[in-house]
Structure 1
Amino acid sequence: MKAYKHSVQYYETDRMGITHHSNYVRWMEEARSFLLKDIGFPYDCIEAKGIISPVTAVDCRYKATSTFADEITIVIEVASVKGARLALDYTMTNQDQILACQGHSEHSFLNRDGNFVLLKRDFPNFYQALKELENKNAF
């Protein structure tokens, strides 16, 4: 489990003064990039090794609004890592600990030819770093 902080920017809000729903998916990507960099495998290094990681599914459940200048803490957890797939869970709360959004994303790992990359076999250090963060209680 890792935590990433994001300050809501004015341009991320809509005419009603609340954060536009599409930004939560962007924040999930920011948190994912933070996580990978934090464990020593930033996206640019992964891609330099010939691995691409497309998003195969994303889900957001909006629980409360956020507004300009809120500080959102995004807790990111590795729900599962196996074969060529990674699933992540996100919990986003504001500075008052109010749950704003719960998210989930799924990713695959491919080489540049579009074939699956088996992390455990082909990139064991990366696989192990993710496996150490895996939430054993995830469904």
Structure 2
Amino acid sequence: MSRIEPYKHKVQYYETDRMGIVHHSNYIRWFEEARTDLMEQMGMGYEEMEKRGIMSPVLSVEADYLRMVHFGSVVTVNAYIKEYNGIKMTIVYEVVDSKTEMVHCRGLTKHCFINEAGKPVSLKQSCLEFHDMFAKGLCDYKNQQ
């Protein structure tokens, strides 16, 4: 797998409030965009996962808003797999201003893996390709720490 490129996002007018400041709910959307991009860069995205009958619902979301982001800004959303055990996964995020390189938000999402019937699955047993991909992503994150 080649180097993972951070996800970039230009803040749109509709994402802001009357003061031109990004509404807090949009950071969660950016987390999802970055997570989707991360998986695609790792080799298999959500589309492939769902073709194989596996879904990955969000169990919880956390976001710490450190400073405001304004309309027209470009942010980089870094996404990393922090924890993965074959059944559950935690992804961490940093939203960084592309000009100043200041961190504006940090967060995480927790996920599990289920089949089409809604039953929990172990990727190690049901889809080794995804298991290996996420395990490698976890190792890459730990090697950066």
Give TM class, smaller chain.
over 0.9
* Total equivalences in the alignment: 138
Report the RMSD for the aligned CA atoms in angstroms.
1.5
Decide whether the 8 Å contact of 1:2 with 1:76 is kept in 2.
no
- 1:31-50 equivalence runs, <5 A: 31-50=34-53
Q: Does 1:127 align with 2:105?
A: no
CA distance in 1, matches of 2:43, 2:142: 22
In the alignment, structure 1 segments of 5+ residues that lack a partner are: none
Instruction: Please state how far the C-alpha of 1:28 moved relative to its aligned partner.
Output: 0.2
Percent of paired sites with the same residue: 38
Letter in 2 for 1:101: C
The normalised TM-score by structure 2 is 0.90
Which of residues 16, 20, 24 is equivalent to 2:27? Answer: 24
Give runs of ≥4 in structure 1 deviating > 2 Å. Answer: 135-138
Instruction: Please state how far the C-alpha of 1:137 moved relative to its aligned partner.
Output: 7.4
CA distance in 1, matches of 2:70, 2:27: 12
CA distance in 2, matches of 1:97, 1:75: 12
The structure with more helix, counted as a fraction of residues: 2
Q: Deviations over 1:84-134 (max 9, x none)?
A: 111000011102111110010000100011111101121111111111111
CA distance in 1, matches of 2:23, 2:142: 33
Matched position secondary structure for 2:71 = coil
